[in-house]
């Protein structure tokens, strides 16, 4: 292992080698386990592999958190309230869309009648005014 401050042949600072510690939280890690982890640790030195491993760990943590949260009564109650609010919003938007469609149809029918009246009116010097 390189000491801090030592430099490699090209003048750059040497990186410390990744190792599994002999004990973790007071529990001794067997040498076979530590040596078996060496190829994995060497692979993790690659930035792409490190990104993939980090993403996998974040995904696993998210899945565990979601599973734990789903069993919580508070989370279930909140989820139910959100779904109820979503249903109410859906109903309100459906009613609004139907109302707007009815008004649009009524307006178009009124315009259609005005166009028919204008076409049937004599083109001469009539004083009849029609607004569209």
What pLDDT, on the 0 to 100 scale, is given for residue 13?
A: 64
With beta carbons less than 8 A apart as the criterion, state whether 59 and 72 touch: no
Q: What single DSSP character describes residue 6?
A: -
CA distance 16 to 7: 11
**How high is the mean pLDDT of the chain?**
77
Q: Which residue has the higher pLDDT, 15 or 127?
A: 15
DSSP state at residue 8: -
Mean pLDDT of 41-58: 81
Per-residue pLDDT reduced to its tens digit, 51-80: 887 888 888 888 877 777 777 788 778 878
What does the alpha-carbon distance between residue 53 and residue 37 come to, in Å, rounded to a whole number?
A: 14
Q: What is the pTM of this model?
A: 0.35
Give 84-107 pLDDT, tens digit per residue.
888 888 888 888 888 888 888 888
Euclidean distance between CA atoms 46 and 14, whole angstroms: 16
For residue 4, the model assigns a pLDDT of: 52
* N-to-C CA span, the chain: 88
Q: Rounded distance, CA 104 to CA 50, Å? A: 58
Long-range contacts from 87-94, C-beta under 8 angstroms, 24+ separation: none
pLDDT in tens, 17-32: 777 788 888 888 888 8
pLDDT tens digits, 110-124: 887 888 888 887 776
């Amino acid at each position: 292992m390189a000491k801090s401050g030592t430099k490699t042949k090209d003048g750059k600072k040497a990186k410390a080698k990744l190792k599994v510690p002999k004990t973790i939280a007071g529990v001794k890690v067997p040498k076979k386990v530590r040596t078996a982890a060496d190829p994995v640790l060497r692979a993790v030195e690659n930035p792409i592999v490190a990104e993939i491993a980090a993403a996998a760990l974040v995904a696993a943590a998210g899945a565990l958190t979601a599973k734990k949260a789903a069993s919580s009564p508070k989370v279930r109650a909140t989820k139910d309230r959100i779904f109820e609010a979503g249903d109410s919003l859906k109903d309100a938007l459906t009613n609004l869309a139907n109302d707007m469609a009815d008004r649009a149809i009524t307006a178009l029918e009124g315009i259609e009648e005005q166009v028919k009246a204008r076409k049937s009116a004599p083109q001469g010097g009539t004083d009849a005014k029609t607004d569209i």
